[in-house]
A and B are shown apart, each in its own frame.
Chain A
C-alpha cells in the first residue's frame, strides 16, 4: 500500500527516512489493547501509512474480554450464556457489518507517529515514548 499524502509529508521531514520499523522512526512505540477496542476504525482512518487497518476478520474472544458495560461486552455476555465452548478462532465478517472487526496492525509499516493513539476514543491504541538512543539506532540515519 502506498503512503498517504500525510505519510509522505511525515517522511519528508525525516532525514534519510528509510526503514519503517515498529518502534517507529518518529518516536513512539504503539501498543494495542484489543480488549478496549470497539471497532470504530478511527485509528485506521488516522493512520498515515496503512499500518493500522480495519480487517475482514473478527475474534469473538474480544467480546469476552471487553468491559461488561460496553456494547461488545453486552454481546459477549449474551454469547457466553449460550456458548457450548470457548470461541474457536476468528470469523469472517460480512461487508455491511462495520464495527465487529479486529483491527489489523502491521508493525513493519508503523512509523510510530502516534496518530492512532490520538484518534482512539477508548485507549485501545496507546503510544509509548521510545528512548532517544533507540530512535537513533532504529534508523534516523540509516
Chain B
C-alpha cells in the first residue's frame, strides 16, 4: 500500500482544537503512509489539486482523508479517486470534525490522542480496501404504467413525448379512472370530462402508448432497467369490430348495479361505462358459469332464459331453454331440477322456480315453434335404439349436425319412460307428443314396434348401411328383489304396472294396496292406484312403506306433499320381511321396524332393524317399486358389448361400448344419476361423440369444459331483500283423486315475470346470446379466453389510485340502510350531465328534488376509531363545497348545510373558493354528527352537536351526503404485493423519502404517482405524474445503470449453499442456484447493501463491498 494522508483544517474548525502538525507526525509512523498533506479546506479545489499531485508524484494507491464526517464530503472524495482511476473504494475517512474537534473542544489533550487513533484506524482500514466491481444494466426504453386514471394517462403522455414506449395497464374496461366519474372539479367548476376527454383521445391515438384494458399485472421480476412483467388480460368478449352502436345493451336482458355509476344506476351485462370510453368497445361482464347452469347436466343456461322471461321476451327465452334440451316442457314438469338446488337465491330465501319458468315458456311458445329442417349433409346413417329422452335427444342433435338417423323403438309408442313411466297427472301425454313431433319434424325416422335382438340385431344394422349405433335402451323392468311371497297373486311390479297403465291396457287394483319403495316410481304407482280406486268408485286405500325417513326419500319433496294431500298413507322406517299369503293370494305385508344408523356410501343413513319389533299391514295387493333393471335381450346376436351390474359398459370420454361404432348412454349406461335430464345430456354427448367418430376427428367436446362457477359472495347475498317464491297454482285435492288431469298448473304471464325477476344474475352475463343476434357488426365473441402476455420494461410507474372509504362501516350514519344517504362520489354522478339523471338532482328513494341537504364531512377520515382512518383525505372539504355550490346554483331555493370538523382549504384559490360558496348561501356548521335516522317518508333525521355553540341539534333533511374519505384501491394493494412495495397507513404506497424522493418507491426503478401514494386533488396528481415521468426519463436517458458498489457478494468457492442469506434478505435479492451444490446468487440491482446476510453467513463466503469484516475490524482494533 502507498497511502497518502490528507488532513483538513476546516478553516480552524479542526485545527483550532487539534494540533495537525503533531497529528501528521503520528500518521507518518503508520505502516504504508508515504505522504502527508494538510490544507485549509481539503474539500475545495486546492485540496483536490493537492490530492491529484500527490497521487501522481508519490504513486499513491490509497487516500486517507482526515476531515469532517464521511456523510458530508464522502461523495466528493470518492469522486476524486474514481476520476483518478483509483476506484471509489480507494479512500478512507477519519472523522476529525464531528467525531473529535467539535465534541471534545474542552479536552484538547484527550482529543489529540483520539485524533491520532482515528487517523490510524483510517489508514489501517485503507489497507484492506479494494476496488469494487460494478456491473452495467442496459435499460429498456419502455415503461409500464399501471393504472389508467388521470395520473397514469398523464405520465404515459409525458413519457411518450420523450420518445419512450409506454404500456398503459388498466384493470377496468376503459381508461379514465376516478376523474371520469366526476361532474365538475374545484375550484374552477369546470367540467371534469371536458378536461379528461382530450387526454383520453390523445392516449388512444398515441402510437407510442399501448393500452391494455381488463388487464392485471401478475408478476414483476428482474432488475430495474430490465423488469420482466407478466400481464393477464381478461376476455372482453367483444372484438375490435364493435362500432359502438349500443344495439347490444337494449338486447341484453341482464341488469346489474353499475360500478361506474357507483351504484346509483344499473347497467347491462354488456356495457360501456361512458360515451368517451377508451377503448370505445363494449365489454361483456361474464364471471363464469351461473350455479344453475353448472348444475344442469345438459348445461342449459337457466339464468339466460330466466332473464329473458323477466323482460317478457318469451320467444327468445324458449330458444335458450330448448336449445340444448328438446324436452323443455317435459323438464319444466318432471325434472329433478338440480339447478334449483344450486340456485344462490336459495341462500337468501327460496331458490327460483326455474323449472316452472321453463315450463311457462315452453307451454307458451313451444307448441308453435317448428324447428327448421337441416338438410342431410353427411352420408353416414346412424341407428338409435330406444326412443326415450336419450335416444330422441341424440337423434335431434345428429339431425341438426346433418345426419340421417333412424330411431328403433320396441314399444308401439315413442317417449320411453317419459311416456310409459310417468302418469298423466304429472306429465300430460300431449305435452310429450308435441316435443317428439318437433324432433321427427327434423327428418328423424321413427320405427315403432321394432325390438332389437328380436326384430333385428345390432350387427345387422351395421351391416346394412348404418355407420354408428347409439344404444339408449333404458332400464325396462323392475329389479327382481328377493321378497318372500313375491310369487303370490296380487303382487305387482311398479315399472310394469305403470307401463300397462300408460299404454292403456286393462288394469285392476286391489282395495288395500301397499307400495314398497321411496322413489318417483313408487310414488307414481301409489298415486295412480289412488286414482284407479277412486275412478272405480272405491275409497282410496294406499299405503307406501319406506325403509328410511322422509328426509332420505329420493322422490321430490313437492310430489310427496301432493301425494299425502291426495290421501296416501306413508309408513317410514319399515323394511319388508315377507308378503303373507292366504290361499295363494296376498293378505298382508310383514314389516320390520328400523331406526337410522351409520351413513352409507350413498350419503344417506342406513336403516338398522330394531330387534323383535315386527308388524303387519293388511293388504290384498303389494306393489314392489325397489329399483329398475336392464333387459338385455337387445344384445341378441351382437358381440363385444358387455353389461355389468345392470349397466352397459362404456368408455366415459367417448360413450363408446366395447364394440367399435356402438355407443351407449341414458339409464342403461349412466354417467351421472338415472334421471331424465341426465338422459338428455347423455343424448347430446353421444351425438357429439358419434359426430367426432364418423368424421374421424375431435370436432366437438363431448364433455363441456369446466368453467369456474360464479356465485355472489355471502356479503352480497346478505344485502339482498328477503322475498318469496311465486307459488304455482294447484288442482284442488278432492278433484285430483279421481282425475288424470295435471296436478300442478303453470304460471300466468305476470306470475312468470314476477318470479323471474327474483334472479340474482350470479354470472352477470347469462349467455343467452341475445347480443350475438343483435350485433350488426358481428363483434361478439363469447369464446374469447384469458390471455397472458410477457413484457420487458425499463421502469414502472404505479398509478393505481384510490377507492372511496366504505361508508357502511360507519353504521350510525345509515349508508346502505337508507337510500337517501349517498356518498359525495355518488352525488357527483347524480349531478353529472352525463349521469343517470342527466344532471338533475333527484333523491334515490322517490326521484323528487331534495330541498334540504346535509353534507357530512370526515366520514372515515381523521378518525381514530377502528372503523375509520387516521389521515385527512385532503379533498373532501373542497369536494363538498363544490357540490354545495353546484346545487345552490342549479336550485337556488335548496338549503345546503355542510357539517365539518375543521374546514381545510389550502392550495391555490381554494380558500377564495370556499368564501365565494359561503356567500352563495351554503351553511357551514362546525359540528360532530351522532346519528342519521330514517323517517317513513324517506327523509332523514340528523342528530349533531354544534361544536362552536356546544348545542345539540336535531334536524330533518331530504338528502344526506357523506364525504367518505380516500383509501388505497384494491388495485393498489394488489400491485404492492406483486411489486413488493411497502404500504403505509390506509394502504397507500410508501414513497422512498417523504420530502426528497416523493415519487420513488422502496424498489429502485418503480415510481408512484397520484392517489396511490396518498390523498390529493387533481392538479397535485398531475404534477406528481409528471414528476414520476421525469424520474423515469432521467433514469432511462443514461442508457445503462451501474450496479451499486456497496452490494453483497458471495465467494463461490466458500459458499456452502445453506440458504440462510436467501431466507433473511429483506430485499429478496439473494436466491439459491439449483443443482446438487447450490450457491448464493445476488441480484446486484436489488441488493441495497445492508449487510444482514454477511453477518449471518456461517461459512464466511458472503461479504459486503466497502464493509468487509477486514475493513470493519481494522478500524476496531486500532
Residues of A whose CB lies within 8 Å of any CB of B are 38-42, 45, 70-71, 96-99, 121-122
- Does A40 contact B1060, Cβ atoms closer than 8 Å? yes
Is B1098's CB within 8 Å of the partner chain A? yes
What A residues does B1058 contact at CB under 8 A?
40-42, 121
* In the A-B complex, the 6 residue pairs with the closest CB atoms: A40-B1058, A99-B1098, A121-B1056, A38-B1098, A40-B1098, A98-B1060
Task: Assess whether B1100 is interfacial by the CB under 8 Å rule.
Answer: yes
Q: Which of A41, A71, A96, A97 contacts B1100 (CB 8 A)?
A: A71
Whether A98 pairs with B1096 at a CB distance below 8 angstroms is: yes
How many Å lie between the Cα of A98 and that of B1065 in the bound state? 12
* A38 and B1060 form a contact (CB under 8 A): no
Q: Which residues of the partner chain A approach B1063 to less than 8 Å between Cβ atoms?
A: 98
Complex: A124 Cα to B1100 Cα, angstroms:
17
Within 8 A of A (CB), among B116-141: none
Contacts of A39 in B (CB 8 A): 1098
CB distance from A16 to the nearest CB of B (A): 32
In angstroms, Cα B1099 to Cα A71, docked, is 7
B1057: chain A residues at CB < 8 Å are 42, 121
Question: B1058, B1059, B1063: which has the most chain A beta carbons within 10 Å?
Answer: B1058
A99 adjacent to B1056 (CB under 8 Å): no
Interface: B481 (CB within 8 A): no
Q: Is the CB of A38 within 8 A of B1099?
A: yes
Given the complex, which residues of B lie within 8 Å of A40, measured CB to CB?
1056, 1058, 1060, 1098-1099
Residues on B with beta carbons closer than 8 Å to the beta carbon of A41: 1058, 1060
B1060: which of A70, A99, A121 is its contact (CB, 8 Å)? A99
Please give, as numbers and ranges, the residues of chain A lying within 8 Å of B1097 by CB-CB distance: 71, 99
Q: Are B1064 and A98 in contact (CB under 8 A)?
A: yes
Residues of chain B with a CB closer than 8 A to A121's CB: 1056-1058, 1099
Nearest CB in chain B: distance from A140 CB, A: 29
Question: In the bound complex, what is the Cα–Cα distance between A41 and B1098 (angstroms)?
Answer: 10
Most B-side CB within 10 Å, residue of A39, A41, A98: A98
Write out the residue numbers on chain A whose beta carbons fall within 8 Å of the beta carbon of B1059: 45
Given contacts A98-B1063, A121-B1057, 8 further A-B contacts (CB under 8 A): A38-B1098, A38-B1099, A40-B1056, A40-B1060, A71-B1097, A97-B1096, A98-B1098, A121-B1058
Main SS class of interface, A: loop
Complex: chain B residue closest to A42, CB-CB: B1058
Contact between B1096 and A42 (Cβ–Cβ < 8 Å)?
no
Bound complex: CA A99 to CA B1059 (Å): 11
Q: Taking CB as reference atom, which chain A residue is nearest B1092?
A: A96
Q: How far is the CB of B1076 from chain A (nearest CB, A)?
A: 9
- What's the Cα separation between A40 and B1062 when bound, in Å? 12
- State the CA gap A40–B1099 with chains docked (Å): 8
| Chain B interface SS verdict (over half) | loop
A50 to chain B, nearest CB (A): 18
* Contact status A42-B1064, CB under 8 Å: no
Chain A residue nearest in CB terms to B1113: A74
Tell me the nearest residue of chain A to B1063, going by C-beta.
Answer: A98
- Per-residue CB proximity of B1058-1083 to A under 8 Å, as 1/0? 11100110000000000000000000
Q: Report Cα–Cα, A122/B1056, bound state, in Å.
A: 9
Interface pairs (17), CB distance under 8 Å:
A38-B1056, A40-B1058, A40-B1060, A41-B1058, A42-B1057, A42-B1058, A45-B1059, A70-B1100, A71-B1098, A97-B1096, A98-B1060, A98-B1064, A98-B1098, A99-B1096, A99-B1097, A121-B1099, A122-B1056
Give complex CA distance A40, B1064 in Å.
Answer: 13
Which residues in B have their C-beta under 8 angstroms from that of A42? 1056-1058
In the complex, chain B residues whose CB is within 8 Å of the CB of A97: 1096
CA distance A121 to B1056 in the complex (A): 6
Q: Tell me the bound Cα distance from A39 to B1059 in angstroms.
A: 12
Q: Measured between alpha carbons, how far is A97 from B1095 in the docked complex, in Å?
A: 9
Distance (whole angstroms) from the CB of A4 to the closest CB of chain B: 17
Q: How far is the CB of A97 from chain B (nearest CB, A)?
A: 8
Residue from A40, A45, A71, A96 having most chain B Cβ neighbours under 10 A: A40
CB under 8 Å from chain A, chain B span 878-909: none
Hey, what's the 0/1 contact readout for B1032-1060 against A, CB within 8 Å counting as 1? 00000000000000000000000011111
Nearest B residue (CB) for A43: B1058
Chain B residue, CB-CB nearest to A37: B1098
Contacts of B1064 in A (CB 8 A): 96, 98
Closest B-chain residue to A39, C-beta based? Answer: B1098
Query: Shortest distance in angstroms between A54's beta carbon and chain B's nearest beta carbon?
Result: 10
Give the distance to chain A from B171, nearest Cβ to Cβ, in Å. Answer: 38
Q: For the complex, what is the distance from the CA of A99 to the CA of B1008, rounded to whole Å?
A: 38
Nearest chain B CB to A46 CB, angstrom units: 11
Closest to A99 in B: B1098
Give Cα A70–Cα B1097 distance, bound, in whole angstroms.
Answer: 12
Contact with A along B236-273 (1 / 0, CB 8 A): 00000000000000000000000000000000000000
CA distance A61 to B1064 in the complex (A): 26
A122 and B1100 alpha carbons, distance in the complex (Å): 13
Q: Which residue of A lies closest to B1061 (CB)?
A: A98
Kindly provide the distance from the CB of A45 to the nearest chain B CB, expressed in whole angstroms. Answer: 7
> 1/0 per position for B1083-1102, CB-CB distance to A under 8 A?
00000000000001111100
Residue on A with the closest CB to B1078? A42
Q: Which residues of A contact B1056 (CB under 8 A)?
A: 38, 40, 42, 121-122
Rounded to whole Å, the gap between the CB of B1112 and the closest CB of chain A is 13
Bound together, the chains give a CA A73 to CA B1098 distance in angstroms of 11
Chain A residues with Cβ under 8 A from B1096's Cβ?
97-99
Give A84 to B27 CA distance when docked, in angstroms.
Answer: 36
In the complex formed, the residue of B with least CB distance to A72 is: B1098
* B residues near A45, Cβ cutoff 8 Å: 1059
Nearest-neighbor residue (CB-CB) of A69 within chain B: B1100
Q: How far is the CA of A97 from the CA of B1098 in the complex (A)?
A: 11
For residue A91, give the distance in angstroms from its CB to the closest CB of chain B: 17
- In the bound assembly, the distance between CA atoms of A132 and B462 in angstroms comes to 67
Complex alpha-carbon distance, A39 and B1064, angstroms = 15
Looking at the assembled complex, report how far the CB atom of B921 sits from the nearest CB atom of chain A, in whole angstroms. Answer: 63
Bound Cα distance from A39 to B1097, whole angstroms: 10
Task: State how many angstroms separate the Cβ of A1 from the closest Cβ of chain B.
Answer: 20
Give chain B residues whose Cβ lies under 8 Å from the Cβ of A70: 1100
CB distance from A112 to the nearest CB of B (A): 21
A73 to chain B, nearest CB (A): 11
- Across-interface contacts of B1100 in A (CB, < 8 A): 70-71
Q: How far is it, in angstroms, between the C-alpha of A40 and the C-alpha of B1098 when the chains are bound?
A: 6
- Assembled-state Cα–Cα distance A130/B1097 (Å): 35
B961 to chain A, nearest CB (A): 51
- Looking at A39, A41, A71, A121, the one whose CB has the most chain B CB atoms below 10 A away is A121
The smallest beta-carbon distance between B1057 and chain A, in angstroms, is 7
The complex places the Cα of A40 from the Cα of B1080 at a distance, in Å, of 13
Q: How far is the CB of A63 from chain B (nearest CB, A)?
A: 13
Give A107 Cβ to nearest chain B Cβ, in Å.
23
A41 to B1096, CA, bound (A): 12
In the complex, what's the smallest C-beta–C-beta distance from B450 to chain A, in angstroms?
Answer: 58
Residue of A nearest to B1055 (CB): A121
A42 to chain B, nearest CB (A): 5
CA distance A120 to B360 in the complex (A): 76
Residues of B within 8 A of A98 (CB): 1060, 1063-1064, 1096, 1098
> Which residue of B has the minimal Cβ distance to A118?
B1076
Q: Mark B428-471, 1 if CB is under 8 A from A, else 0.
A: 00000000000000000000000000000000000000000000
